């Protein structure tokens, strides 16, 4: 089987697809990754063949920050690449609408690698969620509106579209978290499955880790790993970070991720990094603070680390609520003056730590990439999975 991986290019989307690609390769499949030069370099490091996105259409077609506006470009680039390699199946990212339409038009199965938890409507509702969370139905309706617009742009509006949220699921939507992160009593829609993290990341060099260890030892305080995501027009975390790590009993390793310019205060015990990996940093920390995106959440849980969450937009409120609901995280206050005390409580919470360890054991023992590869083989042969 020839498989085209067409994930978004940022690590939180790219790395899980690479994990699945490596598993497919080990099973004897022919695997290609479509991406820009930086994504192709990472894929080549993982032993995968690549296709140059810039030769298949818009070079920004798989930029996650443009998912709402580049669906038609995604469609054209993925159709071109799938034809060029003779693909029999696709592996893509949640929100990559062009990939779903390209798969449909070429009559190819496509599995979708999702977030750590489900963010759309359940087939049957569980316990009531907090009113502060955006309605799952509203989010689903918005996404289906974007999907219909892209479908029209690529000339597919005259053909029968998949019914309801099935349009966003493809041949299967694989959630990378645990059932423990879902609403109690809720039933997932047909076509969804929990696989676990599909974890892969480039190896960290010994020299880089030695430099980080030297800085940790120099400051000599317990470590909090901070992973910054996009703010979506919300508040920067920096006023709160400065309040927590200036003259306190903790130090922070802050991964800048896709955030804006850093703003550490003079005298703050903060080590700024921008690394293509996070596991070694999580392992050095006793707690993880995040805007609540899938990669740091799953990284924290795999290591059994409790979390503080400070969500902004997009999927972040849903994932943050899932962590709090599961008993693995507390919410970071918006008032900087209250943050140091909240950090101390979360660090010292035996219940948060025990629950994170409990869920983390299942996630660390799961083989999400193997499960995803098995699902792809099933749907490619015309069968369905339970």
Assess contact for 368 and 199: CB atoms under 8 A. Answer: yes
Q: Residue for token digits 């609408």?
A: 97
Predicted structure pTM score: 0.95
CA–CA gap between residue 129 and residue 184 (Å, rounded): 10
Q: How many CB atoms lie within 10 A of CB 84?
A: 14
From the list 208, 194, 199, the residue with the least C-alpha distance to 46 is 199
Domain ranges of the chain: 2-197+367-380, 206-365
Assess contact for 312 and 291: CB atoms under 8 A. Answer: yes
Classify residue 2 by burial, with Cβ atoms within 10 Å: 0-12, 13-18, 19+: middle
Q: Residue for token digits 């299942």?
A: 362
Tokens describing residue 99? 């990939």
Look at domain 206-365 and name its CATH class: alpha beta
Fold observed for domain 2-197+367-380: Rossmann fold (3.40.50)
Contacts of 192 (CB under 8 A, 6+ apart): 114, 118, 169, 172, 173, 174, 175
pLDDT per residue, tens digit, the chain (386 aa), is: 999 999 999 999 999 999 999 999 999 999 999 999 999 999 999 999 999 999 998 889 999 989 989 999 999 999 999 999 999 999 999 999 999 999 999 999 999 999 999 999 898 766 666 664 668 888 999 999 999 999 999 999 878 778 777 899 999 999 999 999 999 888 999 999 999 999 999 999 999 999 999 999 999 999 999 999 888 777 889 999 999 999 999 999 999 887 778 889 999 999 999 999 999 999 999 999 999 999 999 999 999 999 999 999 889 999 999 999 999 999 999 999 999 999 999 999 999 999 999 999 999 999 999 999 999 999 998 766 54
Classify residue 365 by burial, with Cβ atoms within 10 Å: 0-12, 13-18, 19+: exposed
CA–CA gap between residue 25 and residue 41 (Å, rounded): 17
Tokens describing residue 69? 């506006």
């Amino acid at each position: 089987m020839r498989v085209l991986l067409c994930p978004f290019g940022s690590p939180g989307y790219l790395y899980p697809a690479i994990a699945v690609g490596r598993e497919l390769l080990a099973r004897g499949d022919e695997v290609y990754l479509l991406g820009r030069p930086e994504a192709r370099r990472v894929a080549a490091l993982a032993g995968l063949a690549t296709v140059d996105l810039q030769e298949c259409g818009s070079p920004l077609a798989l930029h996650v920050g443009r998912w709402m506006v580049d669906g038609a470009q995604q469609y054209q680039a993925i159709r071109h690449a799938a034809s060029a390699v003779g693909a029999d199946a696709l592996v893509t990212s949640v929100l990559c609408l062009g990939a779903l339409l390209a798969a449909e038009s070429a009559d190819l199965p496509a599995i979708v690698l999702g977030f750590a938890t489900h963010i759309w409507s359940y087939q049957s509702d569980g316990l009531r969620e907090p009113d502060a969370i955006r309605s799952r139905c509203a989010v689903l309706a918005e996404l289906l509106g974007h999907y219909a617009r892209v479908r029209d742009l690529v000339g597919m509006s005259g053909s029968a579209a998949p019914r309801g949220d099935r349009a966003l699921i493809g041949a299967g939507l694989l959630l990378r978290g645990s059932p423990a992160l879902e609403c109690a009593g809720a039933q997932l829609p047909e076509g969804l499955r929990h696989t676990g993290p599909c974890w892969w990341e480039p190896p960290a060099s010994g020299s880089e880790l030695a430099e980080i260890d030297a800085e940790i030892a120099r400051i000599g305080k317990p470590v909090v790993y901070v992973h910054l995501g996009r703010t979506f027009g919300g508040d920067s975390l920096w006023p709160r970070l400065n309040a927590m790590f200036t003259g306190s009993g903790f130090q922070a390793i802050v991964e800048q991720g896709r955030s804006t310019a850093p703003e550490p205060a003079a005298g703050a015990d903060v080590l700024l990094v921008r690394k293509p990996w996070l596991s070694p940093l999580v392992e050095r920390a006793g707690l993880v603070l995040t805007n609540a995106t899938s990669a740091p959440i799953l990284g924290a849980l795999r290591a059994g680390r409790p979390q503080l969450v400070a969500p902004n937009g997009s999927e972040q409120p849903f994932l943050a609520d899932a962590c709090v609901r599961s008993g693995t995280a507390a919410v970071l206050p918006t008032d900087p003056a209250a943050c140091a005390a909240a950090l101390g409580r979360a660090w010292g919470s035996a219940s948060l730590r025990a629950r994170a360890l409990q869920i983390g054991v299942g996630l660390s023992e799961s083989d999400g990439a193997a499960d995803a590869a098995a699902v792809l083989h099933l749907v490619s042969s015309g069968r369905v999975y339970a």
